[in-house]
Structure 1
Amino acid sequence: MTLHFTNARLINPEAGTDEIGSLTIDNGVIVAVDADAPAGSTELDCGGHCLAPGIVDIGVKIGEPGERHKESFRSAGLAASAGGITTMVVRPDTTPAIDTPETLEFVTRRAAEARVRILHMAALTKARAGHEMVEIGFMLDAGAVAFTDVFKVSTDTKALSRAFTYARSLGALVIGHPQEPGLSAGAAATSGKFASLRGLPGVSAMAERIGLDRDLGLVEMTGIRYHVDQITTARSLPALERAKANGFDVTAGVSIHHLTLNEIDVGDYRTFFKFTPPLRSEEDRMAMVQAVAEGLIDMIGSFHTPADEESKRLPFEEAASGAVGLETLLPAALRLYHAGQLDLPTLFAALALNPAKRLGLPQGRLAVGAPADLVLFDPYAPYLLDRFKLHSKSKNTPFDGCRMEGKVLATYVAGQAVYQG
């Protein structure tokens, strides 16, 4: 079926434009922009609402295998489609880890339950233990798009250099988590006045800088394609800027929670605000927003991490880290738009275009020939978020009860409506 979207506010991150226009899709592909409706097409009046490329979210945690009670591919797919996410790139920190071709093939079959596109990352080292590299070539053949040990940071730098060198020979993308594991062990907050007043074990912001410097040294030594999963402190930005200026193949991301929340939001030990890495100071948060606006930080992700009530209803130090974010990623990101800090093309460059480009995907664009993965949304629709209405199995969101602005009206994958609000 040929669909012709009219009266749409087209958010084009590639061109950097935000203009009223029309879009035509046929057989799952964009075939025309700002053209007349083809004969026999179905016209959809967007009512002046925003039509943008579907979000490509790198770093989503799914509970299969091992923790299906927290999140399944099916429930994550429902949440993603309701949040305007058309491609999820899922993490290997499962039980067991995705560190063999057989495990990767299992989750690939299970992912067929989802109504959005799902790509898989694999562990970089066996059991994510940081010592013995996985069979990177076989994992690439089985469909892995990147390699990461997620939040388990290796202390075996020699083993890591071998893995980087081998990944470089195969052109594999490695995703690292910049933390010095000794300094960050046991930490529940960022060290400083707030952590001291609350009696929480803290970690210095320098732990991220030290971990990043180590990884960037290995990048310089091996020439690998490297992505930093989360930059969260201002101290890390100069090192990232130097790496890019030196021509290293490095990109960086940031979590939506570190862009919109700070350490004070933890309040009286609210565990829904416990993250890895912990929330930072307001000065760090503003520095991250500025880095996204300038393009120094390339991507924004939800870092969706489902946790059940039992693992969150604990003392702050003992509670699980992370939050669900598939349905809150877009409305939370729109806070930056409403605050005048990011325009919509810049926002969708970080949410869709840059992640797609880094993975070599054709998504993330409003261009002729691109897949018709789209999100139609009203950026001004206000509502109070009720966590129990989220599609995720787990309900651990820091935005529960918050006033949000921005609702997804429809999500399309390959031209098919997978969600209609």
Structure 2
Amino acid sequence: MKQAASITIANGRIVTTEGVREGPLRMDEGIITDAEGDSGETIDARGKLVVPGIVDLGVFAIDKPAFHFGGITRAALMPDQSPALDLPSRVSYISKSGKPDFWVHPLAAATRGLEGREIAEFALMREAGAKGIATGRKWISDSGTMLRLLQYAAMLEMPVIAHAEDAALVGEAVATAGEYATRRGLPSAPAQAEAIAIARDLALADMAGAHVHFRQVTTRAGLAMIRTAKAAGQRVTAGVTPAHFMLSDLATAEFRTFARLSPPLRSEDDRQAVREAIADGTIDVIASGHDPRGPEDKRLPFSDAEPGMAGAETLLAMVLSLVRDGLIDLPRAFDLLALNPARVLGVNAGALKAGFEADVALVDPEKPWIIQSAKMAATAGNTPFDGQPTQGRVLALWKGGVAIEL
């Protein structure tokens, strides 16, 4: 599927890394171009936002209708699949699975079967299409294994996407230790489990000279470590999902399993720390963590339910709420959603610049809607934001200059 004719989006507010400008945006042969011309199709944006397609870093399922609804044109798929993405053949299959209207960037399993013991063959998986290496939902407790895989990744210039929770401390915990977990009798782990894991992995990544990306950093202590490492010049980036800047562990009060997440929801102080880190640049990426779970996984006692949320459809609206709150501006919002994750993955996307892929969305940032789990496009609607009024919807979407039906 290739772009048949040139497209010019006129009268839009174009969001770039440098700022928001008014004027036309032209797409030609699947690429954004500076060239001017009257040929092809012209679309009147009527003052709406013209933004880069979102690059969703670290999803657990490919759910194209949900991604298209949310303005997501690319997603990096975590290796926690069945079977795990630990062989080149599996990576190659996944890398082709979404095309042509959606691009999937597989993340290679860091260890065989994601068991945390034997490192996988990254070089062959890179040739098959892997854009990074991921430890999956669990922390690799063996420091020797982690160091070897970081050294291998550094040699290949591949980022390592790490889960940051000390496995021995977390065990079978489903909540963060504190008042709410104690009152409800939930198995819990201390929030410090995150900082301990980050401290070790930062030290090992520094030894290896590797780029480590912590997919979710959700505590004040963990964020302080990321901030210090960045100031020292270490190759580290950090991400978070909207649940951890929108919700605290108070959301678990009614035992609703849509709030059963990994890592679990944190204290209000940690939630505020995440918002501060988004504002000051400590956090580089906001991703959906899209993980749709049906009733068989969620309609269970809180301690027995599987973690995860359907996040693709609400990602854009939740980040736009940060703009309305004055925490960040529009260019920063789309750096978090598109440019920075594209840079981590090393793909030529995520910004409205000449020569970049023409992955473009037209967005009405003020359009109101109510999040309803029962009406979501995802295969399951397990969102902790169910019933919440919000603003911001995608009106049109192009992948490589080709319009996608929403």
8 Å Cα contact 1:213-1:239 kept in structure 2: yes
Q: Which residue of 1 aligns with 2:371?
A: 385
Q: Which residue of 1 aligns with 2:24?
A: 22
1:163 maps to which of 142, 149, 152? 149
For residue 182 of structure 1, report the CA deviation from its aligned partner: 0.9
Q: Which residue of 1 aligns with 2:48?
A: 49
Whether 1:191 aligns to 2:190 is no
Whether 1:368 aligns to 2:354 is yes
1:417 maps to which of 380, 391, 403? 403
For residue 105 of structure 1, report the CA deviation from its aligned partner: 2.4
1:123 maps to which of 94, 102, 109? 109
For residue 109 of structure 1, report the CA deviation from its aligned partner: 4.0
| Cα deviation digits, residues 64-89 of structure 1 (max 9, x gap) | xxxxxxxxx4xx11211111001111
For residue 40 of structure 1, report the CA deviation from its aligned partner: 2.2
Q: Which residue of 1 aligns with 2:308?
A: 322
Whether 1:209 aligns to 2:198 is no
| Cα deviation digits, residues 134-174 of structure 1 (max 9, x gap) | 01111111111111121121221112212222222222211
Partner Cα distance (2:312, 2:150) in 1: 31
User: Structure 1, unaligned stretches of length 5 or more?
Assistant: 63-72
Q: Which residue of 2 aligns with 1:68?
A: none
2:89 maps to which of 102, 105, 111? 102
For residue 213 of structure 1, report the CA deviation from its aligned partner: 0.3
Q: TM-score, normalised by structure 1?
A: 0.92
| Cα deviation digits, residues 369-391 of structure 1 (max 9, x gap) | 21111111111111112222222
Q: Which residue of 1 aligns with 2:73?
A: 86
Q: TM-score, normalised by structure 2?
A: 0.96
- Alpha carbons of 1:267 and 1:419: their partners in 2 closer, same or farther (altered >3 Å)? farther
8 Å Cα contact 2:94-2:104 kept in structure 1: no
Partner Cα distance (1:362, 1:53) in 2: 12
4+ runs deviating over 6 angstroms: none
- The DSSP-based 3-state class of the residue aligned with 2:95 is helix
Q: Which residue of 2 aligns with 1:70?
A: none
Partner Cα distance (1:232, 1:204) in 2: 12
Partner Cα distance (1:319, 1:180) in 2: 21
Q: What code does the residue aligned with 1:132 have?
A: E
Partner Cα distance (1:252, 1:86) in 2: 21
Aligned length: 402
Partner Cα distance (1:109, 1:382) in 2: 35
Partner Cα distance (2:248, 2:315) in 1: 16
Identical residues among aligned pairs (%): 38
Q: Which residue of 2 aligns with 1:244?
A: 230
8 Å Cα contact 2:180-2:253 kept in structure 1: no
Partner Cα distance (2:372, 2:165) in 1: 33
Whether 1:11 aligns to 2:15 is yes
8 Å Cα contact 1:82-1:419 kept in structure 2: no
| Cα deviation digits, residues 308-342 of structure 1 (max 9, x gap) | 11110001011010101111110121221222222
- The DSSP-based 3-state class of the residue aligned with 1:404 is strand
- The DSSP-based 3-state class of the residue aligned with 1:94 is coil
- The DSSP-based 3-state class of the residue aligned with 1:56 is strand
Partner Cα distance (2:11, 2:55) in 1: 25
| Cα deviation digits, residues 255-288 of structure 1 (max 9, x gap) | 1211211111223101001100001122211211
2:64 maps to which of 77, 80, 96? 77
2:389 maps to which of 403, 418, 421? 403
